[in-house]
Amino acid sequence: MGESSGRISVGISSVRMILLFASYIIGISRGYAEDTTFTGADDGLGPKGVTSRVESKSRDNTDHFVLDSAEYSGVKLSVRQLEETSGPGRGTDSLTLLLNGLVYTPSPIGKRHILLAGTSVVAIFEETKFAWRNLVNLPGLMILNVDGSVIVPGFIDVHLHITGGGGEAGPASRTPEAGLSQLINAGLTTVVGILGTDCVSRSLENLRVKVAGLKDEGLTAYMWSGCYRVPSPTLTGSLMRDMMLIEEVVGAGEIAISDHRGSWPSVDDLLKLVSDARVGGMLSGKAGLMHCHIGQGPTMLDPLWELINISKGAIPITQFLPTHVSSRGPALKEAAVKWVQEGGRADLTSDQQDESATFETLIDWGKLPDFPLDRLSISSDGFGSLPRYDSSGKLLEYGIASPQSNLKMIQRLVHEAKWPLERALQLSTINPATFLSLSRKGRLEDGVDGDLLVLDGKLLELQYVFAKGRMMKSPTWTKKGMFER
């Protein structure tokens, strides 16, 4: 490692340098070298100002934008520099330091600095353990002071119609697909795409390519294989092949149960499907869940219980992830309580504007003694249709679901229900990550993916979004997809 004028001159695009540096910083954050000054740091730096200018370029000839000047109490950095480098040219060679945020992992750990290198979180450390000013000479380092704000893991949504949904009111009622900026403005850094009622004009091929596009644009994206009906479509001829051969396929879904729009599959059909999901998950190293849309039919969760009973427990209750269980009336909510208390997991659809069913459900369930909230997740059903039917199945009205409902649900739980933030956060971070066996998602710690949100410390409004180490949103800018305006 060479030095010039007391500054590190090695190009940041060197993967080896990043890994060595990350290991060094992680050691410091754990207290191994608390009094060490980083090689190349300017000993004359004081709290009033720091300067750093680096003229190196990355392999793709992209300039490294760096901090020009700063004050300890309020770092001055043109956010535009971060925005300009959040395109294709700023990928695995990025370094970003977030200062003074109140960090929730999702558990609260107090005020910390977070260093992002490449696509990962490489260190979360206290100022008393290691002064951030010792890092300012790192080439290409971006510094962002978020004092007074909250830093939380990026949100995960396991149920999104990213290619659009709907169609129950005829061809004109097909909903539009997701735009990148719409997902970012919802705080979503990991999404799982899904088909619904329509698996004729909507296809898994289209869904797979949409997933690939979102990944190219900077998000983490997965998909469920299948749709409402059974037998369900697949990409390769079978669910097990889909799961083993296609990285993004995480399981079967969304399979309609107890819904007039489903195909009312037999027990044998469902048993084969969940068995394929389970074995496909074992062979591919994935969770292998069967994600079930629960409708308003009187059978509710009974078909799933029947599968568990017929298999005599060989198919565990955690192999299923039923959704919509909080917004289909009191009988289904009661059935869902039993399901969760017996060891099952459940996904709740976040309330849209002027709705309160899931909010009230969470308040009620949160008051139950020893109720396991860690077995619940929330999802938006974003870009899906919002049909409302009468008791005879006649369509009464129609709308489209917003992906921002998860963020609004967490805000409401904290502000209105007075939940601790960490209690609400788990529903959209660590819990769904655990359900899907995503070990690098849903938490903030050394070595996980650099997915995080910066929220206003009072209102919890979204300020910044980072996905895989790249800034996707600031207070004045949101990254857009290729054809978004």
- Amino acid making up residue 242: D
List 124's β-bridge partners, or say none: 114
Mean pLDDT of 53-59: 30
Residue 454: inside a domain: no
Asked if residue 234 and residue 95 are part of one domain, the reply reads no
- Amino acid making up residue 260: H
Closest CA to 249 of 236, 268, 265: 236
For 393-452, what is each residue's pLDDT tens digit?
Answer: 787 888 899 999 999 999 999 999 999 999 999 999 999 999 999 999 999 999 999 999
pLDDT of the residue at 87? 46
The Cα–Cα gap between 406 and 412 comes to: 10
pLDDT of the residue at 167? 86
Please indicate whether residue 23 or residue 126 has the higher confidence score (pLDDT).
Answer: 126
Residue 112: inside a domain: yes
CB atoms within 10 A of CB 47: 11
Residue 268: inside a domain: yes
Tell me which residue has tokens 């795409």.
Answer: 193
The model's confidence at residue 15, banded by pLDDT at 50, 70 and 90, is: very low
Residue 405 structure tokens:
């409902």
pLDDT of the residue at 78? 41
pLDDT of the residue at 21? 55
For 354-407, what is each residue's pLDDT tens digit?
Answer: 899 999 999 999 999 999 999 999 999 999 988 777 877 787 888 899 999 999
Helix (H) or strand (E) holding 288: none
- Find out whether 139 and 348 touch, Cβ atoms under 8 Å: no
The model's confidence at residue 86, banded by pLDDT at 50, 70 and 90, is: low
Asked if residue 253 and residue 219 are part of one domain, the reply reads yes
Residue 118 structure tokens:
């490449």
Q: Distance from CA of residue 50 to its chain's centroid?
A: 35
pLDDT of the residue at 284? 98
Residue 484: inside a domain: no
Asked if residue 111 and residue 160 are part of one domain, the reply reads no
Q: Which residues of 318-329 are buried (b: 16+ CB within 10 A; e: fewer)?
A: ebbbbbbbbbbe
pLDDT of the residue at 93? 60
Asked if residue 261 and residue 335 are part of one domain, the reply reads yes
Residue 448: inside a domain: no
Cα radius of gyration (the chain):
24
**Is the peptide bond preceding residue 254 cis, with omega within 30 degrees of 0?**
yes
The Cα–Cα gap between 468 and 470 comes to: 6
> Which range is most confident: 71-75, 164-168, 457-461?
457-461
Please indicate whether residue 282 or residue 7 has the higher confidence score (pLDDT).
Answer: 282
Mean pLDDT of 327-336: 94
pLDDT of the residue at 83? 52
Alpha helices in 234-376 (DSSP H): 239-245, 267-284, 302-310, 330-341, 357-366
- Find out whether 453 and 153 touch, Cβ atoms under 8 Å: yes
pLDDT of the residue at 105? 98
Asked if residue 170 and residue 94 are part of one domain, the reply reads no
Residue 286 structure tokens:
């994935």
Asked if residue 269 and residue 199 are part of one domain, the reply reads yes
pLDDT of the residue at 394? 80
pLDDT of the residue at 398? 85
For 174-192, what is each residue's pLDDT tens digit?
Answer: 999 999 999 999 999 999 9
The domain containing residue 14 runs over which residues?
A: 3-153+461-478
How far is CA 246 from each of CA 13, 243, 251, 320, rounded to the nearest angstrom?
A: 30, 6, 11, 21
How far is CA 266 from each of CA 38, 52, 257, 285, 290, rounded to the nearest angstrom?
A: 65, 67, 11, 28, 15
For the entire predicted model, the pTM comes to 0.84
Mean pLDDT of 65-84: 40
Mean pLDDT of 62-85: 39
**Which 3 state secondary structure label does DSSP give 406?**
helix
Asked if residue 104 and residue 115 are part of one domain, the reply reads yes
**pLDDT over threshold 70, residue 223:** yes
Mean pLDDT of 222-230: 97
- Find out whether 227 and 199 touch, Cβ atoms under 8 Å: yes
The model's confidence at residue 10, banded by pLDDT at 50, 70 and 90, is: very low
How far is CA 11 from each of CA 1, 18, 36, 50, 61, rounded to the nearest angstrom?
A: 10, 10, 23, 21, 11
Question: β-strand 95-104 against 141-145: which pairing, if any?
Answer: parallel
**pLDDT over threshold 90, residue 4:** no
**pLDDT over threshold 70, residue 79:** no
pLDDT of the residue at 52? 32
- Which of the 8 DSSP states describes residue 337? H
**Which 3 state secondary structure label does DSSP give 14?**
coil
Alpha helices in 67-132 (DSSP H): 79-84
Asked if residue 474 and residue 381 are part of one domain, the reply reads no
How far is CA 111 from each of CA 37, 114, 423, 458, rounded to the nearest angstrom?
A: 21, 10, 19, 15
The Cα–Cα gap between 468 and 239 comes to: 29
- Residue 130's CATH number: 2.30.40.10
Asked if residue 263 and residue 194 are part of one domain, the reply reads yes
How far is CA 354 from each of CA 188, 193, 377, rounded to the nearest angstrom?
A: 22, 25, 21
Of 42-46, 252-256, 349-353, the least confident: 42-46
Asked if residue 226 and residue 113 are part of one domain, the reply reads no
For 232-273, what is each residue's pLDDT tens digit?
Answer: 999 999 999 999 999 999 999 999 999 988 899 999 999 999
- Residue 351's CATH number: 3.20.20.140
pLDDT of the residue at 395? 78
Q: Where are the beta strands (DSSP E) in 308-461?
A: 320-323, 346-349, 376-379, 388-389, 395-397, 452-456
Angle at 349 between CA 303 and CA 423, to 5 degrees: 110
- Total structural domains in the chain? 2
Residue 361: inside a domain: yes
**pLDDT over threshold 80, residue 74:** no
Residue 452: inside a domain: no
Q: Which of 242, 259, 347, 381 is catalytic?
A: 381
Mean pLDDT of 326-346: 96
pLDDT of the residue at 439? 97
Asked if residue 72 and residue 123 are part of one domain, the reply reads yes
Residue 446: inside a domain: no
Asked if residue 216 and residue 265 are part of one domain, the reply reads yes
35 is catalytic: no
**pLDDT over threshold 90, residue 81:** no
* Widest pairwise Cα distance in the chain: 79
